[in-house]
Amino acid sequence: MSKTEKKEPAVVGSPTPKKKKKRGRKSTRMYFTHDTELAIGEYLASDHEATRNKIFNERINYSFYKLAENLIHTFKFYYTEVDDLEDLKHEVVCFLLEKLHYFDPTKGSKAFSYFSIVGKNYLILYNNTNYKKKKIKADVLAADEDDKVIHELGRPERKEDMKDFIDYFTAYIDKHMFRLFKKDHDRKVCDAVNILFKRRENFHIFFN
């Protein structure tokens, strides 16, 4: 080494940068693949029932099942009439199958988008209907002991809910009167009050 050449100082603490591994983006639609799209087209193009059943069972059913599962959990459609969400998933799959012939692949729309909307709309209607039923089927006999319930039902914007509640209440009393009231005198009083509720349209107090 000549005297004019200078030795480069060693750099401490600067490790060779590691190349970052590129991670592939996880697809949220892996269950609804290009083959699913093709299978739906083949299903619609066939008039042979056995062929259709084979296509649906082997190439479409699982995609519809996973679509139903994701819609239920993503949007929390948990107000159901069934004890097991598996039953609800099955209902959605059956509904999608019923609506399958409405899909037209020649219009350029993707089957995934189309059936996501169809399934979501079905679950919105299903969920809202069951939510209303659960509100009405709350323990009606506890309402007279809960001031908050009475207050809520009396609000002007809740008149429709109040109507539904009273209709259910009177029907409930008619059905269970002999179980709830053992004495004849008590049943007569209860029946008289229940009749007043049934004929509430004739009393101005119910609409104030």
Do 80 and 120 sit in the same domain of this protein? yes
Do 173 and 125 sit in the same domain of this protein? no
Which of 136, 153, 170 represents a domain boundary (last residue)? Answer: 136
In this structure, what are the phi and psi dihedrals at residue 109, rounded to the nearest 5 degrees?
-80, 150
Do 41 and 94 sit in the same domain of this protein? yes
- As a whole number of angstroms, the longest Cα–Cα distance in the chain is 123
Which of 136, 159, 180 represents a domain boundary (last residue)? Answer: 136
* Per-residue pLDDT tens listing for the chain (208 residues): 555 555 555 444 445 555 555 554 444 458 999 999 999 999 999 999 999 999 999 999 999 999 999 999 999 998 888 888 999 999 999 999 999 999 998 888 899 999 999 999 999 999 888 877 776 665 555 555 555 555 555 555 556 666 777 777 788 888 777 777 778 888 888 888 878 877 777 655 444 4
Length of the chain: 208
Do 106 and 150 sit in the same domain of this protein? no
Q: What is the pLDDT of residue 25?
A: 47
Do 90 and 184 sit in the same domain of this protein? no
Q: Do 37 and 110 touch, CB atoms closer than 8 A?
A: yes
Q: Hey, how many other C-beta atoms are within 10 angstroms of the C-beta on 144?
A: 10
95 within some domain:
yes
Do 104 and 173 sit in the same domain of this protein? no
Do 151 and 107 sit in the same domain of this protein? no
Enter the pTM of the model.
0.54
Give dist(CA 67, CA 32) in Å, integer.
8
Do 82 and 105 sit in the same domain of this protein? yes
15 within some domain:
no
Q: How many domains does the chain have?
A: 2
Q: What is the pLDDT of residue 10?
A: 47
Which of 97, 119, 136 represents a domain boundary (last residue)? Answer: 136
Residue 98 CA from chain centroid, whole number: 18
18 within some domain:
no
66 within some domain:
yes
Burial class (CB in 10 A: 0-12, 13-18, 19+), 123: buried
10 within some domain:
no
Domain extent at residue 149: 140-207
Q: What is the pLDDT of residue 136?
A: 65
In this structure, what are the phi and psi dihedrals at residue 15, rounded to the nearest 5 degrees?
-65, 155
